[in-house]
Structure 1
Amino acid sequence: MKCYTCLLVLFLFPTIFIAQDSTSTVKKRIYTTKLLNTTETLTIDGLIDESGWDVVEWTGDFVENQPDENTPPSQKTKFKIVYDQKYLYVAYRCYDTEPDKIEKRLSRRDGFAGDWVEINLDTYHDKRTGFSFNITAAGVKGDEFISRNGNNWDGSWNPIWYAASNIDEDGWTAEIKIPLSQLKFGKSKEQVWGLQVNRRLFREEERSVWQRIPQDAPGWVSEFGELHGLIDIEPQKQLEIQPFAVTQFDTYPEEKGNPFRDGEDFKLNGGLDAKIGITNDLTLDLTVNPDFGQVEADPAAIALDGFQIFFREQRPFFVENKNIFDYRFANNQDNLFYSRRIGRSPQGSISGLDNEFVDKPSNTTILGAAKFSGKTKDGWSIGVLESVTSREIAKIEDENGNKREAIVEPLTNYMVGRVQKDFNQRNSFIGGIITATNRNLGDTFDIDEDDPNTDETSEVAGTRENNLNLLRKSAYTAGLDFRHNWKDRKYFIEGNIVASHVEGSKESIEKTQNSLTHLFQRVDADHVELDPNRTSLTGTGGKLTGGKSGGGNWRYGAGVFWRSPELELNDIGFLRQADDIRQFANLRYLFLKPTKFYRRANVRFSQSSAFDFEGNYNRIQYVLGGNIDYQNNWWTEVEMIHKPRIFTNTVLRGGPRWRFSQENIGVLFFGSDRRKKFNFTVGHVNSWTTDNNFSFRRYVLRLRYQPFNAFSMSLNPEFVENPNKTQYVTDVDFNGTPRYITAKIDQQTLSASIRLNYSINPNLTIQYYGQPFISRGRYTDFNYVANAVAKNLDERVTLYDQDQISFADDEYSVDEDRDGTVDYTISNPDFAFVQFRSNLVLRWEYIPGSEIFLVWSQGITGDGNPSDDLFRSLDNQILNQQPENTFLIKATYRFVL
């Protein structure tokens, strides 16, 4: 391990002490706005014909940013900005010598289709974050919150603002009006904001900007020009209240005898969202009984490795300002705050009998949530989130009408606190985070003697069971992070450290130790030990990395991160695996100047290695890749991966450390010009291993077609083959010795996502999303682990002979010692998982900020026949089955006070 520490030092130190490829500093442009005359009014209709605009001059002299940076653009652009005490107004004149070729594609808000122009405002002037307002030639609005110096654009931010566009013989024009209440800025005599205006000329796929930003710049926001002249504007304290009402009707296949599945349900619901400006910098968001019925369903997935699957957050309350709460400390998924934990599916188990029917809630009800967040003029980013979810109860009834209830989720409180402080002229920051999860596990219940459903002759009638003894009572995490940039932000060093502490009953902590994230019961691990008497766990994790992020053609970085064996984040965060130390290094070369062959290109190389806390050297891999965008806007991406060493502590689920054979992976994706009415992407991933241990073959096809401006469609079929000669099945006891059973699996997965989008106008859209998903696995050639770390596959496992294993009644019987007596049995692991999900949503923003949704959701989930091929499963389990349907109407009205 010492040699890898030296390697890390060799990679990291040059990033700290060596400056190279420096570029000349681009002069900052300044635009000075003026106050709109109080006698003037501006009508937002896309026609720049009011005299109020005459108080300021046009500014232009745009420069091309892509593809040929720092050259004159194909078409000229100019704009002007005025303001009053409530609004900021922007007018654009986008010249076009061929106005009949202006692309006027309609889409839903944030579609960014066709020709457009946008303004970026760094109102905090922190050179890291900003607000973006985009208007297309078709009049479609788009808005995003910019963070991480342009590396993250959050389209979930939906402020209230006004925009209109118009096409004429000189090109097209646009006007926008932004309420100052939708922006965040400090109080001062004169505001100085970062400013950028960016235009897309669609037919040339050309971007031109007001403030030049070199292609080798270390970021986006840090390079903005400046907006001056905002004198004595008063911070606007935002106050918005948005009540909503929802009616929902569900239909599904009736199950005879099941009182909970009579074929249909009807629900009426309501709630309230509010946004209160405590100061102009800081906002309090409140939600009471939120509804997320219009949110698109998660994509289907199945994981044979047993690890949890990460799904992105799509619920509006949690998505807005999520950058403030973000705390990724190791890789891109590990995070101290994973908002999908709030409102998750109930976790309690139910010990039902064969003749009982169960009605278990699909999600935990969020009783209420509050979020206090924002950023101050002095560089403080603050976020506090508090949420309470209800106790959830499953209803259970047998064939004789006897009833009981089981608690499947306790009343739970979630809290997240996040803070960051900028300093060193906004080139550095330091921050911290704390989270807390507390569950009320002590609920007790009495029989309601007045309940007419109580049958006192039954031993179970009218009772409630607490099934929560395996849940942790409380969980706390804390972290500190920092980042420092220097040399005009070309170089950086950043790091963080986290700590966790969980408490609960002996049973819950033992379950945590046994979980796939930890596996303290591993038979060959000397540094961890399963202790059934523990009632708490405390762990740490962190990261340290540095590198070169801008200037010249080269980029590089290196670092290390770790997650100790007892680190546990999954109450309100996301952690896939603990007990891990990783070193990584990367190098990238950018081809910044376009040629007659390509518009842009890069090549990259990375290396990483992994160890556990016992010092086992588990993994090393090398990646060489690159991508190129051709002059005709077609593109290619290629990658080659070599993994000469692959050991894992998790495959045998508590068994010994396991070795996979050496693996190589090839990746090739290419696609056509995405601007065209019809475009496509084709991709293939292929892995192969020594001894043909396993492989992974993925085939991707993405088709997109827009026959006319108001309608677009896409079809994304994907087929995956994942055969493996040593797929884990189970472990059994053989004469007092654990036997770890694996088998050859032939796994195939077929899926296809379908999207249809029709825009009647920019505020009235219809969208459809559907995804059939089928995954089938057949197991043969059963074997047991002989030497888990042997280099050769034949020494790693031992195949059962035909006289050792037999199959009957959906079960394998094994007579390993051939004495005529069955030593152990294995349940048939063959599977076929079939699912179909779809959403049809009509969305009408009848006034800015207020919406009506009409939603039709449909779903089918079931088990197919593993002996069928995939298309037969599609026919039998999806096309010929009665689906579950949800019809929903949701109306919101936003009061701006």
Structure 2
Amino acid sequence: MTTKFCIAFILCVTTGALSVAQTKKIITTKKTNESIVIDANLSEEAWKNAAVATDFVSFEPKNGTPIPAEFTTEVKIIYTNDAVYIGAMLYDPAPSKILKEIVERDEIGISDLFGVMINGYDDGQQEFRFYVSAADGQVDTNFTSTEGEDGSWNAIWQSKAKITEFGWAVEMKIPYAALRFPEQKNQTWGINFFREVKRERQKYTWNPIDNTLGTFSQQAGILSGIEDIQTPTRLFLIPYSSFYLNASDTQKTKGEFKGGLDIKYGINDAFTLDAILVPDFGQTKFDNVVLNLGPFEQQFNENRPFFTEGTDLFSKGNLLYSRRIGQTPDLNLNLANNEDFAVYPGAINLLNAMKISGRDESGLGVGFLNAITEKTTATVINEDDDSKREIVVSPLTNYNVTVFDQRFNKNSSVTFINTNVTRNGSFRDANVTGLLFDIFNNSNKYNFFGGFKSSSIRDVENTNGFNTSLYMAETTGQFRHSLGVEYISKDFDPNDLGINYKTNYYSVSGNSNYRLLNPNKTFNSFRVNLNSYFEFYTPTNQIQSSNFNINTSMSNKKNHSYGAGIDFNPFKNYDYYEPRIADRFFVNPETISVSGFFSSNYNNKFAIDIEPSIAHVIGENRYEAGIDISPRYRFNDKFSLVYGFNYYKQKNDVGFIAIENSSIIFARRDRDTYTNSLTGKYSISSVMNFNLAIRHYWSLAENNQINSLNTDGSLSPYNTYTVNKNSNLSSWNLDLSYSWWFAPGSQMSILYRNNAATFDRTINKNFNSNFTNLFDNNLSHVLSFSVRYFIDYNQAKNWLKKD
């Protein structure tokens, strides 16, 4: 590197760092001892003398331009010994046109929005964000510069919004218990304010955010003036009680009571302990199960609150798939030919779980998660003599994740993460360790990230493996580029607590993209991506996956979004996973596919999403085609419905069905999949809501030609295989729920759920008869009632004093 280049690089870095610093606005707050009522009136004397944050600037689409005078926004801040208060006057020339759809907590809907982003350490890397909608709803998120917004994070705070003759007003009280800040006399916090005018699709911030830069949290303003405040005792108890009434067509009605306790304790100003005793996840969202004919398991979303709230640290390196904890037991055990299961469990019970997480003033983030599941058995019956025996399908198991994440330079981090699964007795144990890095230069223009991970499995046969990767990206400007390489060894196995499908390969990927940073005469937004990916099987260096993709997305002046993409695989791919036997492969020919989408403006009462796609295997009569249509209608600010229909067809699809006499049997098959869904909500208020979710799924796969897999990856006819391996899966789920947030953090919910599923080898292509058969002696019902009550130690001690 030449001296001239070094000087130019240093000047570039310094200029980039200064350009962010130069835009920082400062607001100074004052303390008050006056009692503040959260009513959106801002009538207390303390508000009259508070400094005003104004002169908002467009974030998008017209980045950097001043807010129009008719939408002038004025924000004030005051503080007391236990909370910071925000008051906002949001002017609007047409108050009657302000959009204000009522939705449940943590949903925005079609509504104007005001928000405050607070970073108690002013380190540019973590913000606690609090939003209030014009419909008086609340949304809170935890934002990190590496993971983005985590909407599962929840805090206890107060707010009130109301429509006025000049626009609308917001008043917020955010207790210090909902924030993190250092123990020092004079506080300096990072802060920014946000406003969205929904009908205009315009977003504004108080401190300007330059969208040519890759990070937004570093472009916050400064809040000064807070002095002599104490970090409160953060001890919250959330006892709960639930009652479940279960019934089905084949079993009698049965009732069950459950109760337990969640604990949240602030160990210090930075770290928090969360624990659940006797967990109850009976009211979590149902899984969208599909007919899975491939070699890999279906991955499900995590819906249990404990494993979704504040887990950004634990997601580092993608080594935690929390559905492993308390998962459905694996019943693929080596039973004798004359044995079968008489009684088997539907799930593995979680006994308890706890986590410690947080980040201190020096930027060190620490995460510790531990969970224990109980010993689970099944009953096996000998079909010859009817004798029974108990077998362990899952022993007493401890799951653990430990993370240390050091941030520095306000935009970079180095992470150590370890996951460990220890099973009681002579069962398999697993340990996975990762060392990761995510480095930006000072101007945030260039990003280098990747790491090294290793796994160690202790079982009948001990194995050790590793995974290493390096990615480089340009993250600012209209043109951006990235390049990455990855290598995974044969025995790398994080699947005891993580999820990983492929090993024993190396890959190269690249991306170049262009984006419109500010709207022009035609588009509000416009982006084009060019992607490439090559994956090679290490022992042979054969291509096992490859893809060239170009796609574009845009939105027009009417705020309709649309786009299209083309995928092209110009090479034969050697699939080493579909055959289900090590070192055997199936050769997939070259393919090309085209897809598109259209999404109309959700501000309109009626909107629709349409996504068609088609793919063709070059040189064969083999194709896939699908259509996804989802119309939605908002009847009023309280009631809306969304219908979804998906049809996907595969003609002459090729896949594994069995192994017979050392031959790997494949089939050419036709497959049709129909998915119908309906979601709806009726909101009495922002704290009282009815929700409906219905999903019917039907997928059938009919084998037309049976083949054996040759050693060169080709197929030959195999006419002696006569076992019926057709597949016909139907499932139905319905959830109807009512929830009422009757106090801050406290919720009562009632859920009625019914579900049914059938699987057989008989192909019946009549939709009506399949749908009817799904419910014949197969429908299960659950009615549940749950109450969770939030107790703040700081309030509870005052109750005791009064008593």
Whether TM-score is above 0.5 comes out as yes
Task: Tell me how many residue pairs correspond in the alignment.
Answer: 776
The correspondence for 2:569, drawn from 635, 638, 643, is: 643
CA shift, 1:713, in A, is 1.2
1:728 match: 656
2:274 match: 285
Contact 2:564 2:596 in 1 (8 A): yes
Distance 1:213 1:79 in 2: 18
Distance 1:870 1:703, change over 3 A: farther
Contact 1:628 1:635 in 2 (8 A): yes
Distance 1:282 1:744, change over 3 A: same
1:569 maps to 2:494: yes
The correspondence for 1:502, drawn from 446, 454, 457, is: 457
CA shift, 1:553, in A, is 0.8
1:380 maps to 2:364: yes
1:295 maps to 2:301: no
2:672 match: 748
The correspondence for 1:249, drawn from 227, 240, 245, is: 245
Instruction: Tell me the TM-score normalised to structure 2 length.
Output: 0.93
Contact 2:12 2:443 in 1 (8 A): no
1:616 match: 541
Distance 1:19 1:360, change over 3 A: farther
Which residues of 2 match residues 579-728 of structure 1 at below 5 A? Answer: 579-618=504-543, 619-645=545-571, 646-654=573-581, 656-692=584-620, 694-728=622-656
Q: Secondary structure, in 3 states, of the residue corresponding to 1:699? A: strand
Distance 1:874 1:117, change over 3 A: farther
2:101 match: 105
Contact 2:531 2:550 in 1 (8 A): yes
Distance 2:418 2:214 in 1: 30
1:233 maps to 2:216: no
Q: Secondary structure, in 3 states, of the residue corresponding to 1:859? A: strand
Contact 2:27 2:51 in 1 (8 A): no
CA shift, 1:786, in A, is 3.8
1:799 match: 717
CA shift, 1:304, in A, is 1.1
Distance 1:695 1:383, change over 3 A: same
Counterpart code for 1:597: T
The correspondence for 2:726, drawn from 805, 830, 836, is: 830
The correspondence for 2:759, drawn from 846, 852, 863, is: 863
Counterpart code for 2:628: V
Q: Secondary structure, in 3 states, of the residue corresponding to 2:764? A: coil
Distance 1:381 1:557 in 2: 28
C-alpha deviations, 1:495-515, integer Å up to 9, x for none? Answer: 21100001123xxxxxxxxxx
The correspondence for 2:163, drawn from 157, 164, 167, is: 167
C-alpha deviations, 1:848-879, integer Å up to 9, x for none? Answer: 01111111111101125643226135423335
Distance 1:363 1:185 in 2: 41
CA shift, 1:17, in A, is 11
Counterpart code for 1:183: L
Distance 1:145 1:429 in 2: 18
Distance 1:637 1:342 in 2: 39
2:326 match: 343
CA shift, 1:302, in A, is 2.3
CA shift, 1:37, in A, is 2.1
Contact 2:32 2:79 in 1 (8 A): no
C-alpha deviations, 1:317-366, integer Å up to 9, x for none? Answer: 111111111123xxxxxx21111111111225574998987332222111
Q: Secondary structure, in 3 states, of the residue corresponding to 1:713? A: strand
Which residues of 2 match residues 443-482 of structure 1 at below 5 A? Answer: 472-482=427-437
Counterpart code for 2:633: Y
The correspondence for 1:270, drawn from 246, 259, 263, is: 259
Distance 1:652 1:396, change over 3 A: closer
1:367 match: 351
Distance 1:410 1:116 in 2: 50
Distance 2:14 2:411 in 1: 20
Distance 2:343 2:11 in 1: 64
Distance 1:407 1:739, change over 3 A: closer
Distance 2:556 2:774 in 1: 42
Contact 1:864 1:873 in 2 (8 A): no
CA shift, 1:189, in A, is 2.2
CA shift, 1:235, in A, is 1.5
1:541 maps to 2:538: no
Distance 2:536 2:339 in 1: 50
Distance 2:400 2:709 in 1: 45
Q: Secondary structure, in 3 states, of the residue corresponding to 2:306? A: helix
1:416 maps to 2:401: yes
CA shift, 1:882, in A, is 4.6
Distance 2:763 2:336 in 1: 30
Distance 1:353 1:52, change over 3 A: farther
CA shift, 1:487, in A, is 4.1
1:839 match: 735
Distance 2:442 2:644 in 1: 44
1:133 maps to 2:61: no
C-alpha deviations, 1:744-778, integer Å up to 9, x for none? Answer: 10011111221111111111111111111111010
1:427 match: 411
Contact 1:56 1:81 in 2 (8 A): yes
Of 614-623 and 752-761, the range deviating more from structure 2: 614-623
How many percent of aligned residue pairs carry the same amino acid? 25
2:688 match: 764
1:883 match: 779
CA shift, 1:572, in A, is 0.7
The correspondence for 1:788, drawn from 712, 727, 730, is: 712
Q: Secondary structure, in 3 states, of the residue corresponding to 2:640? A: strand
CA shift, 1:692, in A, is 2.1
Distance 1:67 1:207 in 2: 7
Distance 1:504 1:356 in 2: 26
Distance 1:394 1:786, change over 3 A: closer
Q: Secondary structure, in 3 states, of the residue corresponding to 1:52? A: helix
CA shift, 1:208, in A, is 1.1
Which residues of 2 match residues 8-19 of structure 1 at below 5 A? Answer: none
Counterpart code for 1:781: Q
Distance 1:865 1:42 in 2: 67
C-alpha deviations, 1:365-417, integer Å up to 9, x for none? Answer: 11111101001011001000111111113356899997653322110001110
The correspondence for 2:483, drawn from 555, 558, 574, is: 558
Aligned-residue CA RMSD (Å)? 2.4
Distance 2:121 2:542 in 1: 46
Distance 2:122 2:482 in 1: 27
The correspondence for 1:69, drawn from 63, 85, 92, is: 63
Distance 1:130 1:575 in 2: 31
CA shift, 1:156, in A, is 1.0
Distance 1:788 1:685, change over 3 A: farther
Instruction: Tell me the TM-score normalised to structure 1 length.
Output: 0.83
Of 694-703 and 268-277, the range deviating more from structure 2: 694-703
CA shift, 1:892, in A, is 1.0
Of 244-253 and 861-870, the range deviating more from structure 2: 861-870
The correspondence for 2:307, drawn from 305, 314, 318, is: 318
Counterpart code for 1:30: K
Unpaired runs of 5+ residues, structure 2, are 1-8, 794-803
1:213 maps to 2:209: yes
Distance 1:841 1:601, change over 3 A: same
Q: Secondary structure, in 3 states, of the residue corresponding to 2:96? A: helix
Distance 2:291 2:181 in 1: 46
Counterpart code for 1:43: V
Q: Secondary structure, in 3 states, of the residue corresponding to 2:312? A: helix
